[in-house]
Chain A
Amino acid sequence: MTSPTSDLPEATEHRLEELEKGLFTSDLSVNEFLLIKEVGFHPVGFVMGSSIYHTGLQTRKWSQSQELTKLTEAMYNARELAMTRMEEEANELGADGVVGVRLDVNYYEWGKDAAEFIAVGTAVKAEDGVSRRNQLGKPFTSDLSGQDFWTLRQTGYLPQGLVMGTCVYHIAHRGLGQTLGTTGQNVELPNFTQALYEARELAMTRMQDEAARLGASGIVGVRLEEKSHQWGSHTIEFLALGTAVTKTSENVTLPTPTTIISLDN
């Protein structure tokens, strides 16, 4: 299953070869492992991708709300690089998908503009031999846990891909006049509200666009994260993340849940 366009390091290829011979590695817990088996998938390998990325500079105007396109681009590119490398490893293993994907950003002492973007997950393959890859012929990716994956499969849905949208936004400071004018009053701060709204909308829209490209019918488990990273309090990254899904079979086998009251505290 070697693809000619693969740019993975040689050592990676060697490690993956060993995995193809039947050994699997997985960061799934035992419960997750058993649940994945329960829905007819077998883990094939612990896959990862990473990129250490230097983000450029962009000037911000103190009193202007604006998207910092250069930083947005950097956050996008770096994550995309890490994700693609992880997908490539999964592809190399002949996997149908990757579950339990975690995306992390780590800042180290190499300089405050350099960060490591890392994506890790467990590649899985259907045991019945039928391909469960997404529309683009690539392994699907999903940040759902083993438990969530089991539940999703019981309802006839299949993940198509981990989709994300990001937007780095600079929120304008309020002028002294404005601050004094509102002291002692109950009043909405429209410039803050508007800026936050716009940034969130941009991130969400981008995420939905990615899902549309995969031909998905919905996005589940969406998380909206707001982080300032190293940029100070008025520059915020809005990151929307979720798993795009489509319905692949009509029969819902999810049993009626039993309600329990646990007696431990």
Chain B
Amino acid sequence: MSVPPTTPRPRLRDEVRHALFDQADRVTASAEARATTSDLSIDEELNLHSIGWEPVELVSGVSLHSIPFGYWNWGQGEIEGASMAHATAFVNATTHLLREAGAAGGHGVVGVRIDRAVHSTFVEVSLVGTAVRPVNRSRRLERGVFASDLSARDFTMLMVAGWEPLGLATGASFVFAPRRSMGAAIQQQSQNVELTNFTEAMYSAREAAMQRMQEMAIEMHGTGVVDVKVQEGPMSFASHAVGFVALGTVVRLAQAAHRLIDPTMVVALDDASVAFDARTLS
């Protein structure tokens, strides 16, 4: 029995310092000869290569913006401070993301995962995505770096059809929902009625948010916003306030005309998933 050779213990402090310096180097160094990091799957990477693009670096942008105390208290109309905070946090996070992507030599960021949370005192936006660029790097960047929450696969499809993403557009609006008077509530107890003041509050939040998203899209000279996701409802910490957030990727026709994709019809012969489970019978 031989004693296993002892490996020297890693010196954590040095490791961390090394990693940090390495990181700084990577951002400042030119985009030559270094390993790429990406959270793309193999399929997605192949997809990207099929249109002559490649991943460069995993990039992120985070921003927290405060909402002063008391903004959610009782009031009327839109809670502008909160809407503003959301917009600012989003723009800042995007700026960080794009700056990081630009420094790494990317022309755009795809598959951006968006983590958003609105708390009573602050708004938190965190974006993580993969910076990508055309393989032929001599092609100069004619415009700014774009960010998109479309997956690499969707990005490929879009490019194949002659479209290009321009950036992320978002709009948020938070509005106070007026309460029904006690009298009205009692009177309506047994009736089927529409609660018009709630409907109106919801509508005004929605319209303002959608409007802001559209304005961002127009500013980017986009002709459309695809894959719009909306989130709505009362805030968890203030049920008398409703919020509406819309988010999507701005696109534009890059080629002279839309190219048809000519899909093929397929029938998968894989085993059907289990649709019936006897255990649900009780």
Chain B binds chain A: yes
- For the complex, is B108 an interface residue (Cβ under 8 Å from A)? no
Chain B residue at minimum C-beta to C-beta distance from A81: B194
- For the complex, is B38 an interface residue (Cβ under 8 Å from A)? no
Q: How far is the CB of B229 from chain A (nearest CB, A)?
A: 7
- A245–B248 Cα gap in the complex (Å)? 31
Please, which residues of chain B bring their CB within 8 A of the CB of A74?
Answer: 192
- A151–B265 Cα gap in the complex (Å)? 9
Please, which residues of chain B bring their CB within 8 A of the CB of A52?
Answer: 194-195, 198-199, 202
Q: How far is the CB of A96 from chain B (nearest CB, A)?
A: 17
- For the complex, is A78 an interface residue (Cβ under 8 Å from B)? yes
For chain B, which range describes its interface: under 10, 10 to 19, 20 to 34, or 35 or more residues?
35 or more
Residue contact A22 to B193, C-beta cutoff 8 Å: no
For chain A, which range describes its interface: under 10, 10 to 19, 20 to 34, or 35 or more residues?
35 or more
- For the complex, is B191 an interface residue (Cβ under 8 Å from A)? yes
Contact among B155, B203, B229, B264 for A11, CB-based, below 8 A: B203
B interface SS class = mixed
- For the complex, is A135 an interface residue (Cβ under 8 Å from B)? no
Q: How far is the CB of B44 from chain A (nearest CB, A)?
A: 13
A interface SS class = mixed
- For the complex, is B79 an interface residue (Cβ under 8 Å from A)? no
Q: How far is the CB of A104 from chain B (nearest CB, A)?
A: 10
Chain B residue at minimum C-beta to C-beta distance from A127: B258
- For the complex, is A30 an interface residue (Cβ under 8 Å from B)? yes
Point out residues on A near B: beta carbons under 8 Å. 9, 11-12, 14-15, 18-19, 22-31, 33-35, 37-38, 43, 46, 48, 50-57, 70, 73-74, 77-78, 81, 106, 108-111, 113-114, 116, 118, 120, 150-151, 254-262
Interchain Cβ contacts under 8 Å between A and B, 30 examples: A14-B207, A14-B211, A15-B210, A18-B214, A19-B214, A23-B217, A24-B223, A24-B225, A26-B226, A26-B228, A27-B229, A29-B154, A30-B150, A30-B227, A38-B260, A46-B228, A52-B195, A53-B193, A54-B191, A56-B192, A56-B193, A106-B233, A108-B234, A108-B239, A109-B239, A110-B177, A110-B198, A255-B265, A257-B266, A260-B266
Point out residues on B near A: beta carbons under 8 Å. 150, 154-155, 157-158, 161, 177, 185, 188-195, 198-200, 202-204, 206-208, 210-211, 213-214, 217-218, 222-230, 232-234, 239, 248, 258, 260-270
